[in-house]
A and B are shown apart, each in its own frame.
Chain A
Amino acid sequence: MNIQINNLNHFYDGSKVLSDINLEIMDGQILSIIGPSGCGKSTLLRLIGGLEEPSSGEIIQIGSPPLDSLNAMTYIFQDFALLPWRTVEENISLVIEDHSLSSEVKRSVIDDVLDRTKLKDFSYALPKQLSGGMKQRVAIARALAVNPAVLLMDEPLSALDSQTRELLLEDFVNLWSRKPFTAVYITHNLSEAVRLGHKIIVLSRRPGKIIETINIEKPIADRRLIDKDLDEYQKNLWNIMHDEARAADAELLNV
């Protein structure tokens, strides 16, 4: 399933946050969106997933999600959004309880995602017992449980320390290599963007519009933490973003 965004504009209380966005999200690919803080990238993600309605323009699903997908557009949140009163397993089962699945099917779905995210040993732990990285793994497992057509990730690694971030990046790459998924990956971190994105779009400061689109041909599985090919991209991106970021930073001071 592809997603196409045509001439999208969005306003909050009369002020424009997104301006003339046109883009296509390709099936089986990861699209990274980067931009300075406050540029409307999280808003764009909420619009794509239907948590908000665009002021004008359209967001179209081309083709239908796979039949076994329980929730086509599925988010992974920056702050994990786990229910603290439910164990790891119960947090995952939350999102499939509303569907009429037999208990064996539910059991096998939960076991499968726990296995894929290496959380087998933690299934009865409460969120308060888990580290940040583990919490985000649970959120990833929960997202995988509904077999999403598109994963919408809103700075999923921003709340984590840099080593945990690296570990989870590897996990994302492994998950994608084993079974390619479609994803939109919002981040303000250039190295995350170039590690995961097949396509990277750069948004300007508010009102956000697309100022650059970059395609990276190198297969995701071959990209490394220290990688000369990616360095070039990262340098280019930073050159594009530098002035925008500086202007956005100065803007906040005037508020």
Chain B
Amino acid sequence: MSKKKYNFNSSNNRNINRPVPFVGKGFKPKSRRWMGYFVFFIIIAVLELGTTSGVISSLTLPKPSDVLATMIELFQSGLLFKHLVPSTLRLIVGALIGISLGITIGTLIGLFSYIRSGLVPVVAAIFPIPKIALLPLFVIWFGIGEGSKYALIALGSFTPTVVATYGAVDNVDRTLIRMGQSFGLSWISIVYKIVLPGAMPGILSGLRISLAIAIILLVAAEMLGAEFGIGAYILEAGSLYDLERLFAGVTILSILGITVSVLVTMLEQKILKWRV
């Protein structure tokens, strides 16, 4: 049925029955999961075709299949875990120190006016410093070994956690706190049962940023001085201009990032079940 058939002139013509046209189409984002995989597939396929046919020179980009072969070899030789285990350990220890300190300090800033006025400027001053610039200092303070790497990652994840945490504490619904006070709850109960759970959504979304920064600093620290670790592996591949290994290292980092993000999402779904 085309538009031309409609008789717009005779509004009193009762013989024409037509359905109300549907105008509420679109503007409704939906989850199309396969699309993500599809885009990945297309990119890799184009690269593979380009490099095999010679359109893309082997000096510009490695062949994806070669990168995959390098990764498989890395896995089979056991070298993968030799690099991945120390990296993961550094990430966990460093981020754990930074995040737990960050949540503690952030909560204190959120709760006490004096601490807030004293520490917010300090945090604002530390936040924009590229922490890598401080690595030589940390080497002198904490030694050339793991200590300086932990410190760098901890400091890097500390500042965004602090900012996210005190922002989240500020945003806790004041009526809930007044409710707690009106029922005579103790200060400690109000903090543990109302403020901290209420700040959790903000703290967890800050966690995402802190962990991404932690991964960046992990690689930076390993590039500046480590025998094993993903960063050291990438640096070595880069100085030999071994593109397959360079991209294998980058892919591993990417997977590490995705894994961390998935873990945070799982944590959110578990802790924030109550969210509407």
Where the two chains meet, the residues of A that have a C-beta atom closer than 8 Å to any C-beta of B are 49, 51, 70-71, 73-75, 77, 79, 81, 83-86, 94-95, 97-98, 126-128, 142, 146
Contacts and interface: CB of A to CB of B under 8 A. Distances in A.
Please report whether the interface of chain B is mostly helix, strand, loop or mixed according to DSSP.
helix
Given A85-B197, A98-B189, A142-B183, 11 more contacts: A70-B184, A71-B182, A74-B182, A77-B175, A83-B176, A83-B194, A84-B274, A86-B274, A94-B183, A98-B184, A128-B275
B115 interface: no
Contacts of A71: 182-184
Contacts of B184: 70-71, 98
A94 B190 CA distance: 10
A84 B183 contact: no
Interface in B1-35: none
A98 B192 CA distance: 12
21 contacts: A49-B182, A51-B181, A70-B184, A74-B182, A74-B183, A75-B182, A81-B179, A83-B176, A83-B193, A83-B194, A83-B198, A84-B276, A85-B274, A86-B274, A94-B183, A94-B193, A95-B185, A98-B186, A126-B273, A127-B274, A146-B183
A215 B77 CA distance: 91
Contacts of B179: 75, 77, 81
Contacts of A70: 184
Interface size class on chain B is: 20 to 34
A73 B178 CA distance: 13
Contact of B182 (A51, A79, A84): A51
Interface in B132-191: 175-176, 178-186, 189
Nearest to B197: A85
B182 to A, nearest CB: 5
A81 to B, nearest CB: 4
